[in-house]
Structure 1
């Protein structure tokens, strides 16, 4: 009987973790390849993503990899977009725009996202942020339980 209880507990835990939400609250981005791999796994598992705060830079790849019907935004959500860049260390450490990387980023975004970026002058080194309101809602649906 005890083994049956352990087996049931394992099934319940694995089922709950398979249905877990990813809540993004303060993600400033990072290496693009790591984000692509992370979001592909989330999409494959069918998990829901709740953007509940800052989602900048490579974090925004979530909106191009995870299906739109599996993503929602809260009133605290914001998305920040900028050009892709690489960091060079010589002769001084600096960021250098990466045109091919920027084209790749853009290839992940839907028409409403691309339209907003275009209206804001395209991707530049400066972060362009969309916050709660009609522009964000054109990109992603609000989370019903958060309003």
Structure 2
């Protein structure tokens, strides 16, 4: 789950403003390689796409909050974001928490998400979930009547 600082910096410098042309729905995404998600969201942002979070978005999937403008993200009542510390494999093949990658990941999130994480002890190996009223207080609800139901 390691990612180079230059990739993160490049992702954060993307501008991609304007009207959204397409919609991507996140419904059951358990995460994966941070680098792969950064690349995916860079492409979405560059294409000026919008994101509907309509279910689980966990681990590296949550980078969507850093990569996309908040105006380009909406959440449904089913949206559930899962956060935890970044991890990697050691030389012996065992999993360990990568503190540097965790700090970078944390720094990417918008301030309201960072504050919410802080109230729960930060990014730790234990997964914490942002959902319901707390999530809807940070991101707008989806108007699914006005948007086509595209899927990822």
Q: TM-score range by the shorter chain?
A: 0.7 to 0.9
Which blocks of at least 5 consecutive residues in structure 1 are unaligned? 1-17
The aligned counterpart of 2:98 is: 98
The aligned counterpart of 2:136 is: 137
For residues 26-81 of structure 1, give each alpha carbon's deviation from its aligned partner in whole angstroms, at most 9, with x where no partner exists: 00000001100100110011100000000000000001101110000000000000
Which blocks of at least 5 consecutive residues in structure 2 are unaligned? 1-19, 146-152
- Larger helix share, 1 or 2: 1
Larger RCO, structures 1/2 (Cα 8 Å, 6+ apart)? 2
Normalised by the length of structure 1, the TM-score is: 0.81
Question: What is the CA RMSD across the aligned residues, in angstroms?
Answer: 1.5
The aligned counterpart of 1:23 is: 25
Normalised by the length of structure 2, the TM-score is: 0.78
The structure with more radius of gyration: 1
CA contact (8 A) 1:112 1:138 kept: no
Runs of 4+, deviation exceeding 3 Å: none
The number of residue pairs the alignment matches comes to 126
Does the residue aligned with 1:145 lie in a helix, a strand or coil?
coil
